[in-house]
């Protein structure tokens, strides 16, 4: 095998496929990236750890076709650090030589025969605009559980009904839901999938720059979802199990609504939360014209700050885990935020809106359970 | 009941002791559990009585002075106590009564001063410096206290009166039973120096042995050893503190209301158990009891720990810190069970299991991150309802179905609630 490829092309390609590689794989070959040079002038890199697969095809001057397996992270590090000149790759016995300018690297070749076959992606189901997909996944995956108590809650639930896609995640303390439209291949598209949140957000971030992302949930993928954007393809194994019913979690009524400038509230909460010790909340006191944010109790450090707010309904005092509140404010993505409350002990709903007096944009909703005191 | 008894040092002077400045009182009930148990059994007064489970595997909780004369001490295995004193009458402990008497005694203390530092159910330090003008000299206050407690509770206590906590505690111990010892300020050193090193607070068997090996037998020996030598032998802090105590220097003030740091319960089985189902059931019972006690104390904790003692007396503890504070029986049980299961025991023979809730803070200030899916009335409310039923109909009137007795009771013996 022998080929020449541009530094940037290789660096970008290998970074994409090696991004999900495990640091300490259960089987050594799973740390590898499969490099496949074809005499038609293409170079295909792929990686697979039985959960996630990634593949990319880039142009290259291929003098001699062939296939090798090398350590993925090492190849990524090397290609990123090489000077901006063409890179020559060739095999020599059990070594893979990488030459660029006057740099020379000899990498150990790993046994290709032991490498698992990448799964075939299911049939394509439709396409989403790349930026919308990335934003939506980021908005929802923050609410997925990071722990290991309930594996099912570490996933993002994707529900597709015709041209409507609903993404949803919850760790039982908060719930994030985003609705968006896409272009399904068939108008009667109907799928439900539970995608591991970490892998989904990694993939969505990496594909975000592309104009559009194809999702594949159709036939042929047994428990897999496929993503494709340009020359990049990925599959992720879906989570198994019954996702809890969450429709009843959305409050059906609103007693108090407050509209605040998102950035102002986020900054203020961030500052006040500096004195909130682990597991202690920030208290938000909404009165007409402002919300006062307080944290810290008794002999410990205390902080308070006020932010302008438009209030509709009776005053309310409610306490939140500061990080959970910040996650929502960060994710809402609009200049203004609307917070809807019923009782200090019941969930609050955060939605975004473009202007102080515009209608709320309910395509994204972040439901947050308050902190209360035991007595 | 103290492990060690020492004879009171003789006083140099025959004058009545001068209690000026001796504002620290250490009040300790005499053989508390035994005396309290004898209130309803006056026929046993003056006879050797041991309080504890009747099974040979439980330990002595307390004993009357008549039984102590035979060498019976607290925490001694019951089997051994019975061998030492076969004629002793054994009475099962009645924790509810002990708690009631303790509460009444503490209430009596509160009428004298706000500065009460309880050490356990049956002993406390009192700082009476603010009560002297109102109630008289410390010795008079102490006598008054002893009379009140004897009249109202029917049990006796001993009081040590001194200028420091350390000396007061020593004095009350030497005054037992039913006595009062005043250690005037200018007699502290001569009082202390006649005592063996083991009398000093903080000198246990290990340290005592260590000191004996260094040839230090009396407090006087200790006092006349250079502090550097003690620090080399025992460590900087311990060496310095022993030296200070040997000269009667004890700056610790009486700190009112020591906060409970943990709440827990454990159970020694009548026979070693290797059946995981029964262990789980016992963990449930202990978790229930621990949670109920936390709730009645108005506390919540974040760390749950379990203790497992095997047949060979090896003891292990495991702890897990939860995401949020809890006083919910079910949460505590789920964690205790998880900790136990994670030990991966293959039918190991177990003698004792215990459950403990740590990192306590008052419920009023313990934040709880509620979950979206929790019902308005959940386990917390169920627990509250159980507490109300227990208050009205007695502990255990409402309990998990798996804890209903399925055979004549008596397979579990010797309960000890520890706080």
Write down the pLDDT at residue B419.
44
A281/B367 Cβ within 8 A: yes
A369/B369 Cβ within 8 A: yes
Q: Tokens 């909340």 correspond to what residue? A: A281
**Residues 6+ away with beta carbon under 8 Å from A249:** A170, A175, A347, A367, B372, B373
The dihedral sign for the CA sequence B64, B65, B71, B73 = positive
A321/B370 Cβ within 8 A: no
Cite the active site residues of B.
Answer: 123
β-pair partners for A55: A46, A233
- What is the tens place of the pLDDT at every residue in B135-163? 888 999 999 999 999 988 888 999 999 99
Instruction: For residue A246, list chain B residues with Cβ-Cβ distance below 8 A.
Output: 372
Residue B411: which pLDDT band, with cuts at 50, 70 and 90? very low
DSSP characters over A123-179: ---EEEEHHHHHHHHHHHHTTS--SSS-GGGGEEEEEEETTEEEEEEE-SSEEEEEE
Degrees to nearest 5, angle at CA B112 with B106 and B118: 35
Is the peptide bond prior to B143 cis by the omega test (within 30 degrees of 0)? no
B367/A319 Cβ within 8 A: yes
Overall average pLDDT of the A293-299 stretch: 81
A172/B372 Cβ within 8 A: yes
Name the region of B223 (left: φ>0; alpha: ψ -120 to 50; beta: rest).
alpha
Write down the pLDDT at residue B258.
55
The maximal CA–CA distance of chain B, rounded, in angstroms, is 76
Token readout for A194 is 């539970």
B29 vs B106: CA distance, rounded Å: 11
Residue A186: which pLDDT band, with cuts at 50, 70 and 90? confident
Overall average pLDDT of the A72-86 stretch: 93
B371 vs A346: CA distance, rounded Å: 10
Q: What is the DSSP letter of B10?
A: P
B364/A374 Cβ within 8 A: yes
Token readout for A125 is 């189901």
Q: Which residues of B touch A (CB under 8 A)?
A: 298, 300, 302, 323-325, 327, 363-373, 380
Degrees to nearest 5, angle at CA A190 with A185 and A194: 110
| A173 vs B366, B371, B380: nearest CB | B371
Q: What is the ipTM of this complex?
A: 0.74
A373 vs B364: CA distance, rounded Å: 6
A136 vs A128: CA distance, rounded Å: 11
Q: Identify the residue among B329, B367, B375, B380 best suited for mutation to test binding to A, counting A beta carbons within 10 A and taking the highest.
A: B367
A298 touches chain B (CB under 8 A): yes
Residue A320: which pLDDT band, with cuts at 50, 70 and 90? very high
Q: What is the mean pLDDT of chain B?
A: 84
| B369 vs A170, A173, A244: nearest CB | A173
| A173 vs B300, B367, B372: nearest CB | B372
B371/A373 Cβ within 8 A: no
- What is the tens place of the pLDDT at every residue in A197-222? 999 999 998 887 788 999 998 776 67
- Which run of H or of E encompasses B98? helix B95-112
Instruction: For residue B323, list chain A residues with Cβ-Cβ distance below 8 A.
Output: 279
Instruction: For residue B302, list chain A residues with Cβ-Cβ distance below 8 A.
Output: 279
| B372 vs A321, A369, A372: nearest CB | A369
A172/B325 Cβ within 8 A: no
Q: What is the mean pLDDT of chain A?
A: 91
- What is the tens place of the pLDDT at every residue in B219-255? 888 888 888 888 888 888 888 888 888 888 888 888 7
B363/A373 Cβ within 8 A: yes
Point out the least confidently predicted range of A361-370, B316-325, B375-384: B375-384
Q: What is the DSSP letter of B200?
A: S
Write down the pLDDT at residue A109.
93
Closest CA to A238 of A163, A167, A152: A152
B370/A369 Cβ within 8 A: yes
**Residues 6+ away with beta carbon under 8 Å from A47:** A17, A18, A20, A21, A32, A33, A34, A53, A54, A55, A72
B323/A172 Cβ within 8 A: no
A280 touches chain B (CB under 8 A): yes
Instruction: For residue A172, list chain B residues with Cβ-Cβ distance below 8 A.
Output: 371-373
Contact B9, B195 (CB under 8 A): yes
Instruction: For residue A279, list chain B residues with Cβ-Cβ distance below 8 A.
Output: 302, 323-325, 367, 369
How many CA within 13 A on the CB side of residue B72? 33
A284 touches chain B (CB under 8 A): no
**A323 to chain B: closest CA residue:** B369
Q: Is the pLDDT of residue B414 over 60?
A: no
Contact A369, A350 (CB under 8 A): no
- What is the tens place of the pLDDT at every residue in B6-41? 666 666 566 677 888 888 999 999 888 888 888 888
Higher pLDDT, B98 or A272: A272
Instruction: For residue B327, list chain A residues with Cβ-Cβ distance below 8 A.
Output: 374
Residue A375: which pLDDT band, with cuts at 50, 70 and 90? low
Q: Which long-range contacts (CB under 8 A, 24 or more apart) does B373-382 make?
A: B373/A172, B373/A244, B373/A249, B379/B328, B379/B329, B379/B330, B379/B331, B380/A374, B380/B327, B380/B328
**B297 to chain A: closest CA residue:** A375
Q: Identify the residue among A171, A295, A373, A374 best suited for mutation to test binding to B, counting B beta carbons within 10 A and taking the highest.
A: A374
**Cα dist from B357 to A51, B121, B261, B289, B362, whole Å:** 40, 19, 9, 11, 13
Q: Is the pLDDT of residue A44 over 50?
A: yes
Residue B285: other Cβ atoms inside 10 A: 22
A249 touches chain B (CB under 8 A): yes
Instruction: For residue A297, list chain B residues with Cβ-Cβ distance below 8 A.
Output: 365
Residue B52: other Cβ atoms inside 10 A: 27
A319 touches chain B (CB under 8 A): yes
Q: Identify the residue among B372, B374, B383 best suited for mutation to test binding to A, counting A beta carbons within 10 A and taking the highest.
A: B372
Instruction: For residue B325, list chain A residues with Cβ-Cβ distance below 8 A.
Output: 279, 374
Contact B139, B182 (CB under 8 A): yes
**Cα dist from B131 to B58, B108, B151, whole Å:** 43, 14, 21
- Which run of H or of E encompasses A21? none
Instruction: For residue A284, list chain B residues with Cβ-Cβ distance below 8 A.
Output: none
Q: How far is B42 from chain A (nearest CA, A)?
A: 44
Instruction: For residue B359, list chain A residues with Cβ-Cβ distance below 8 A.
Output: none
B373/A249 Cβ within 8 A: yes
**A348 to chain B: closest CA residue:** B372
A174 touches chain B (CB under 8 A): yes
A174/B369 Cβ within 8 A: no
């Amino acid at each position: 095998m022998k080929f020449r490829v541009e530094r940037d092309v290789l660096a970008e390609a290998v970074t994409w496929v090696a991004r999900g590689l495990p640091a300490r794989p259960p089987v050594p070959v799973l740390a590898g990236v499969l490099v496949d040079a074809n005499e038609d002038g293409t170079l295909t890199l792929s990686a697979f750890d039985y959960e996630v697969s990634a593949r990319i095809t880039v142009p290259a001057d291929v003098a001699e076709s062939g296939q090798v397996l090398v350590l993925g992270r090492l190849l990524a590090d090397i290609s990123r650090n090489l000077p901006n000149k063409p890179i020559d790759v060739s095999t020599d016995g059990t070594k893979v030589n990488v030459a660029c300018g006057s740099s020379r690297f000899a990498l150990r070749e790993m046994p290709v025969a032991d490498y698992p076959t990448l799964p075939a992606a299911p049939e394509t189901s439709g396409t989403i605009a790349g930026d919308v997909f990335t934003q939506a996944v980021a908005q929802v995956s923050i609410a997925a559980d990071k722990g290991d108590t309930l594996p099912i809650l570490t996933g993002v639930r994707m529900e597709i009904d015709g041209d409507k896609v609903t993404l949803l995640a919850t760790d039982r303390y908060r719930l994030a839901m985003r609705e968006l439209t896409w272009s399904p291949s068939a108008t009667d598209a109907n799928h439900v999938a539970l995608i591991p949140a970490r892998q989904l957000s990694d993939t969505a971030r990496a594909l975000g720059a592309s104009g559009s992302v194809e999702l594949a949930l159709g036939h042929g993928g047994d428990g897999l979802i496929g993503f494709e954007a340009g020359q990049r393809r990925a599959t992720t194994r879906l989570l198994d199990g019954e996702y809890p019913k969450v429709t009843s979690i959305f409050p059906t009524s609103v007693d108090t609504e407050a509209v605040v400038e998102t950035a102002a509230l986020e900054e203020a909460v961030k500052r006040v939360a500096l004195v909130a010790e682990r597991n202690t909340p920030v208290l938000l006191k909404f009165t007409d014209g402002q919300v006062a944010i307080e944290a810290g109790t008794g002999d410990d450090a205390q902080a308070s700050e006020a932010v302008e707010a438009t209030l509709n309904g009776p005053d309310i005092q409610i306490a939140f885990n500061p990080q959970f509140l910040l996650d929502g404010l960060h994710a809402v993505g609009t200049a203004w935020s609307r917070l809807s409350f019923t009782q200090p002990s019941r969930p609050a709903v955060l939605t975004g809106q473009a202007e102080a007096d515009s209608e709320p944009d309910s395509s994204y909703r972040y439901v947050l359970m308050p902190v209360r005191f035991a007595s | 009941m103290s492990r060690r008894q020492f004879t009171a040092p003789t006083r140099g002077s025959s004058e009545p002791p001068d209690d000026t400045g001796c504002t620290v009182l250490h009040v300790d009930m005499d053989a508390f559990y035994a005396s309290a148990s004898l209130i309803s059994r006056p026929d046993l007064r003056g006879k050797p009585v041991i309080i504890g489970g009747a099974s040979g595997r439980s330990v002595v909780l307390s004993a009357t002075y008549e039984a102590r004369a035979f060498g019976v001490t607290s925490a001694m295995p019951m089997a051994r106590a019975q061998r030492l004193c076969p004629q002793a009458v054994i009475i099962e402990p009645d924790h509810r009564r002990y708690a009631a008497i303790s509460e009444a005694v503490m209430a009596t203390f509160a009428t004298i001063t706000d500065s009460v530092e309880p050490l356990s159910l049956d002993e406390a330090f009192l700082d009476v410096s603010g009560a002297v003008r109102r109630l008289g000299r410390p010795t008079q206050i102490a006598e008054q206290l002893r009379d009140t407690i004897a009249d109202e509770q029917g049990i006796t206590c001993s009081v040590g009166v001194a200028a420091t906590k350390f000396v007061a505690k020593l004095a009350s111990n030497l005054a037992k039973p039913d006595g009062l010892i005043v250690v005037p300020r200018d007699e502290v050193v001569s009082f202390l120096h006649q005592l063996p090193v083991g009398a000093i607070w903080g000198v246990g068997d290990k340290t005592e042995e260590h000191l004996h090996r260094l040839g230090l037998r009396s407090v006087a020996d200790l006092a006349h050893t250079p502090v550097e030598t003690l620090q080399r032998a025992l460590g900087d802090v311990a060496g310095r503190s022993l030296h200070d105590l040997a000269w009667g220097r004890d700056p610790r003030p009486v700190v009112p209301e020591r906060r409970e740091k943990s709440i827990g319960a454990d159970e020694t089985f009548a026979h070693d158990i290797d059946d995981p189902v029964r262990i789980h059931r016992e963990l449930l019972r202990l978790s229930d009891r621990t949670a109920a006690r936390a709730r009645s104390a108005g506390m919540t904790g974040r760390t749950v720990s379990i203790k497992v003692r095997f047949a060979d007396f090896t003891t292990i503890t495991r702890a897990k810190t939860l995401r949020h504070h809890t006083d919910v029986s079910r949460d505590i049980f789920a964690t205790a069970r998880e900790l136990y299961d994670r030990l991966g025991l293959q039918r190991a023979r177990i003698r004792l299991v215990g459950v403990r809730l740590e990192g306590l803070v008052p419920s009023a200030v313990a934040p709880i991150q509620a979950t979206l899916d929790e019902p308005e009335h959940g386990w917390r409310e169920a627990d509250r309802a159980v507490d109300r039923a227990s208050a009205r109909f007695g502990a255990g009137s409402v309990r998990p179905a798996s804890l209903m007795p399925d055979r004549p009771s008596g397979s579990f013996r010797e309960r000890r609630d520890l706080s």
